[in-house]
Copies of this chain bind each other. A is one copy, B any other.
Amino acid sequence: MTASLRLGIAGLGTVGIGVVKIVRQQATLLSARTGTQITISAVSARTKGKDRGVSLAGYDWEDDPVKLATRDDLDVYVELMGGTDGPAKASVEAALKAGKDVVTANKAMLAVHGQALAELAEEHGRVIRYEAAVAGGIPVIKALTEGLAGNEITRVMGVMNGTCNYILTRMEKAGLTYEEAFAEADGLGYVEADPTLDVGGIDAGHKLAILSAIAFGTKPDFDGIELEGITRVSIEDIRAAADMEYRIKLLGVAQRTGRGLEQRMQPCLVPANSPLGQLEGGTNMVVIEGHAVEQIVLRGPGAGEGPTASAVMGDVCDIARGFRLPVFGQPATTLEAAKSARSELPAPYYLRMTLLDKPGALAKIAAILGNSGISIDRMRQYGHDDTNAPVLIVTHKTSRAALDEALAAMGQTDVVMAPPVALRIEHV
């Protein structure tokens, strides 16, 4: 036991402290498994004095993460501060240039600057590992990049934001409105300081951009994602979906189509009895489909001290074992620019609308759908007390373009009381 691997950790929040705990408490296990003494040389965080519930004795302190990242007594720089730019990016760049490997949990930085960082890393012969950036404790980056390396990946799907899934689950189970469920999640500390990151689908979109790059050999393309959050999901839709044996999930889907790479992160209906439909609370799930493996489903905690630290330490152990591979699984210079294709593939859709209750109203809607070549799979009209009739329609597969045409035509009629809700249905 002579080999050693010296870490510098920037960011001592939940995840950083989780990593310190594992390094301190599992030293015997880690050295048995990696043949290496994994130690911490120095740490950095915003506030020095704070009691963090674990001893930092023996670690040097750096106020400046860039200084930390370039220390001579460091082999691996562990970036756990977060943020797309700023100190996170500056310190990671500094670490790579100084010849350090990098482990990070920073999905935003990788989704937006991943290509440039990967090129920089590979130019300097360094690795960037980021298992903790996607789906918390689930070793999904490893599964996709390594375990399934023999597959042409055909589709990647996932529920990857625990906060959104918690809110949607609470709306369904407790009958809460979106606002009530959001307030509850916020009170429990589940929501980011900028809530848009969670409920706007941005955080989940960052994760999808990373998975897409690996799966399809394309440059990470966060801007190419068709992105919609959960803020417009209503309790009426949750209930109506449940009534038709569906559940609404903030679902990410990436797949190649004839025209390019389709990446979507949006509220979708999934069958209530499917693995995705049964996913509750903060748990994450990723579905990977490949030409050989068919379908793999991975499920686990999407956040939290232990799970995220577990993912960081998996990366650290890989580096200790000498595993080295390009950041996105193949050299960054060989990644293609993604040609983004917006929802080209047809799908069934869920439509909810309120019709004026007068003779011929439903016939008008049915005619409009027919004119756009959309056929109806299931339709329900609910009992009602006033002059408005709630109507649900599940269509057969249709293109988004045909659907948009039909929705526009409905708006021209005098029977639709408000813009209809249209949500895609994904069968897994």
Contacts and interface: CB of A to CB of B under 8 A. Distances in A.
A413 interface: no
B316 A150 contact: yes
A311 B147 CA distance: 7
A306 interface: yes
A76 interface: no
Interface string A15-36: 0001000100010011011110
A37 to B, nearest CB: 14
Contacts of A22: 150, 292
Contact of A299 (B142, B299, B314): B299
A286 to B, nearest CB: 11
A149 B296 contact: no
Contact of A137 (B139, B296, B330): B296
A282 B313 CA distance: 33
A217 interface: yes
Name A's interface SS: mixed
Interface stretch (A318-326, A353-361, A384-392, A415-423): A318-326
Given A150-B26, A291-B306, A294-B306, A322 B324 contact: yes
A395 interface: no
A261 to B, nearest CB: 16
Interface string A240-276: 0000000000000000000000000000000001010
Contacts of A26: 150-152
A334 interface: yes
Contacts of A34: 149
A32 B139 contact: no
Contact of A150 (B293, B296, B304, B314): B314
Contacts of A312: 150
Contact of A142 (B146, B275, B278): B146
A147 B151 contact: no
Which of the listed residues A131, A293, A306 has the most CB atoms from chain B within 10 Å of its own CB?
A293
Given A294-B300, A310-B290, A330 B146 contact: no
A29 B296 contact: no
A138 B297 CA distance: 9
B292 A18 contact: yes
Contacts of A294: 137, 300-301, 304, 306-307
Contacts of A316: 150
A324 B295 CA distance: 27
A310 B322 contact: no
B314 A325 contact: no
B297 A300 contact: yes
A425 B301 CA distance: 24
Interface residues of A, number: 59
B152 A147 contact: no
Nearest to A34: B149
Which of the listed residues A278, A309, A317 has the most CB atoms from chain B within 10 Å of its own CB?
A317
B292 A309 contact: yes
A329 B33 contact: yes
A331 interface: yes
A310 B148 CA distance: 6
A408 interface: no
Interface in A119-150: 131, 137-139, 142-143, 146-150
Contacts of A151: 26, 310, 313
B150 A139 contact: no
Interface of A: 18, 22, 26, 29-30, 32-35, 131, 137-139, 142-143, 146-152, 217, 273, 275, 278, 290-301, 304, 306-307, 309-314, 316-318, 321-325, 329-331, 334
26 contacts: A18-B292, A22-B292, A26-B151, A30-B150, A32-B334, A139-B143, A139-B147, A139-B296, A149-B314, A150-B309, A150-B310, A150-B312, A275-B299, A290-B310, A292-B309, A292-B313, A293-B300, A293-B301, A293-B306, A293-B307, A293-B311, A294-B306, A297-B299, A322-B323, A322-B324, A323-B323
